[in-house]
């Protein structure tokens, strides 16, 4: 290919006007043009980009709704085994109720079961709506809250307390941090472009 390009440049410089010989690349180029492969590839790229963007927007919107809904329950009293505003919430009952109300997803009842049913993520990858787990009763995953951003989470802490926001950077929570999890919500794929 390089040899043909050099030959074409030499001939052009000498003033000779000769058509370069046809090559396999020219044949492939013509074939792709005839079949509109480049246009089709561009359409697929654009469609996939739109789907990824729409999916990301949908996830962000759900996370935002979840956090806003959870914040609406600030001040609701703690109650062991509680899972509603009428009864009060324990930590896992609060998380379960928020996901059921905003996402329509029913998580397991206990904090350790919620940890087992969700995807492990690194603490640095936390996003609003993710779950944060703590060892507060000398056993792993004994407490859970919902990450709201800025190193803070919302939870129903203990008897005599109410749903509130805490800073994960406080020594108490830092020492007891057990891990972060992401709740995978499976949403239906949008139909392919042009499908009816």
pLDDT value at residue 38: 52
Residue 160 tokens, joined: 């005599």
Q: What is the pTM of this model?
A: 0.67
Give residue-wise pLDDT tens across range 44-54. Answer: 555 555 554 55
Residue 8: band (very low, low, confident or very high) from pLDDT cuts 50, 70, 90: very low
Strand partners, 149: 152
Active site residue 186: no
From start to end of 27-141, where are the E strands?
A: 83-84, 88-89, 119-121, 131-134
Active site residue 155: yes
pLDDT value at residue 165: 97
3-class secondary structure, 162: strand
Q: CA triplet 155, 161, 102: central angle to 5 degrees?
A: 30
| Domains, the chain | 42-182 (3.90.1720.10)
Residue 64: band (very low, low, confident or very high) from pLDDT cuts 50, 70, 90: confident
For the segment 132-158, the average pLDDT, to the nearest whole number, is 96
pLDDT value at residue 63: 81
pLDDT value at residue 97: 97
Residue 193: band (very low, low, confident or very high) from pLDDT cuts 50, 70, 90: low
User: CA-to-CA distance for 144 and 95, rounded, in angstroms?
Assistant: 7
User: CA-to-CA distance for 96 and 17, rounded, in angstroms?
Assistant: 77
**Is residue 176 pLDDT above 80, yes or no?**
yes
Query: What's the number of CA atoms in the CB half-sphere (13 Å) around residue 4?
Result: 10
pLDDT value at residue 62: 79
Q: Which of 6, 17, 58, 91 is catalytic?
A: 91
For the segment 164-182, the average pLDDT, to the nearest whole number, is 97
**Is residue 36 pLDDT above 80, yes or no?**
no
Rg (CA), the chain: 29
**Is residue 133 pLDDT above 80, yes or no?**
yes
pLDDT value at residue 52: 47
Residue 172: band (very low, low, confident or very high) from pLDDT cuts 50, 70, 90: very high
Q: Say which residue the tokens 């139909």 belong to.
A: 191
pLDDT value at residue 124: 96
Stretch (H or E) spanning 181: strand 177-182
> Does residue 136 contact residue 176 with C-beta atoms inside 8 Å?
yes
Residue 14 tokens, joined: 């000498």
Residues 6 or more apart whose CB falls under 8 angstroms from that of 125 comprise: 180
Q: Which of 6, 155, 186, 196 is catalytic?
A: 155
Instruction: For the chain, give the mean pLDDT.
Output: 79
Q: Per-residue DSSP letters for 22-45?
A: P-HHHHHHHHHHHHTHHHHHHHHH
Q: Which of 6, 143, 186, 196 is catalytic?
A: 143
Residues 6 or more apart whose CB falls under 8 angstroms from that of 151 comprise: 167, 168, 169
Active site residue 196: no
**Is residue 152 pLDDT above 60, yes or no?**
yes
Polymer length in residues for the chain: 196
């Amino acid at each position: 290919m390089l040899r043909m390009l050099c030959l074409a440049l030499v001939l052009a410089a000498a003033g000779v006007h000769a058509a370069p010989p046809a090559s396999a690349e020219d044949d492939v180029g013509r074939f792709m043009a005839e079949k509109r492969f480049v246009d089709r590839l561009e359409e697929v790229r654009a469609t996939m980009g739109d789907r990824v963007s729409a999916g990301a927007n949908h996830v962000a919107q759900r996370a935002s709704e979840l956090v806003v809904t959870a914040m609406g329950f600030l001040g609701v009293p703690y109650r062991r085994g509680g899972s509603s505003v009428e009864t009060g919430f324990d930590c896992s009952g609060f998380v379960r109720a928020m996901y059921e109300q905003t996402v329509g997803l029913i998580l397991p009842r206990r904090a350790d079961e919620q940890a087992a049913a969700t995807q492990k993520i690194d603490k640095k990858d936390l996003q609003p709506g993710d779950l944060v787990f703590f060892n507060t009763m000398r056993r792993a995953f004994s407490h859970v809250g919902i990450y709201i951003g800025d190193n803070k989470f919302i939870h129903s802490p203990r008897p005599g307390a109410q749903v509130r926001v805490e800073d994960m950077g406080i020594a108490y929570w830092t020492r007891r941090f057990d891990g972060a999890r992401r709740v995978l919500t499976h949403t239906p794929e949008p139909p392919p472009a042009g499908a009816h």
